[in-house]
Amino acid sequence: MSLLQGRDLSRSPWFDGLDLDLEQGEIVFLHGPTGSGKTLLLRALADLDPFDRGTVSLAGQPSQAHEPWEWRSRVLYVHQGAPRLAGTVQESLEAVFSLASQGGKSAPSPAPLDPTARVDRLSGGEAQGLALHRALWTSPSVLLLDEATSALDPSASTAIETELKAWVTDSDHPRAVLWVSHDEALARRAGTRRVAFP
């Protein structure tokens, strides 16, 4: 059974009758022309935008069986323009970690970022790295990444790729990643499969 499954997904004029299967342990790269609707697909899978028609399920359970907030925490969309919360890096992580109901544990160290750095002063790449760390620590089942490492330098990108590969293959929790990127080298390094869109 697919971890994330979409059937007959349609959103005019971008795509029509699309089927999608994402298996546990996969990092699938979605590639296609700019403006073809890839971002819209990811946002609709996360229930942030509507489909014209079609069904989406997670581990066999339809999206309608979940409260919207629950679905969005399990099928988590991360876009390239990382949101900049107020406060320091550590405060930002602790706020997200607390919301993820981690039983009172302390948030892990935000290496390689300085935990005392102000979030509003981070570079674009640092902000993207922080957004990805926040996403991983909320422990979703599926990550939907929209050019989410486009501003990272090569060493930071490699570190995130390694972390995502370890995260997705954690046998205790079924997980997968659907990743939109125009970086073909990244797709070859980090991906288990590539899917043409639409």
Structural domain contains residue 175: yes
CATH number of the domain to which 160 belongs:
3.40.50.300
Structural domain contains residue 94: no
Residue 99 is predicted with a pLDDT of 54
Residue 84 is predicted with a pLDDT of 64
pLDDT digits (tens, 9 = 90+) for 27-84: 999 999 999 999 999 999 999 999 999 999 999 999 999 999 999 999 999 988 766 6
> What does the pLDDT average to over 108-132?
78
Structural domain contains residue 186: yes
CB crowding 6-27: b at 16 or more within 10 Å, else e: beebebeebbeebebebebbbb
pLDDT band at 142 (very low <50, low <70, confident <90, very high): very high
CA distance 88 to 84: 10
Residue 112 is predicted with a pLDDT of 67
Residue 131 is predicted with a pLDDT of 86
Structural domain contains residue 108: no
> What does the pLDDT average to over 4-31?
96
pLDDT band at 185 (very low <50, low <70, confident <90, very high): very high
CA dihedral 148, 183, 4, 42 (to 10 degrees): 50
β-bridge mates for residue 79, sequence order: 146
Domain count, the chain: 1
pLDDT band at 111 (very low <50, low <70, confident <90, very high): low
> What does the pLDDT average to over 106-120?
69
- The two beta strands, 193-196 and 27-31, are parallel
Average pLDDT, the chain: 88
Residue 192 lies in domain = 4-85+125-196
Structural domain contains residue 117: no
Residue 36 is predicted with a pLDDT of 93
Structural domain contains residue 62: yes
pLDDT digits (tens, 9 = 90+) for 144-181: 999 998 888 888 888 889 989 999 998 788 999 999 99
Residue 87 is predicted with a pLDDT of 84
pLDDT at 94 over 80: no
Structural domain contains residue 155: yes
pTM score: 0.88
Structural domain contains residue 153: yes
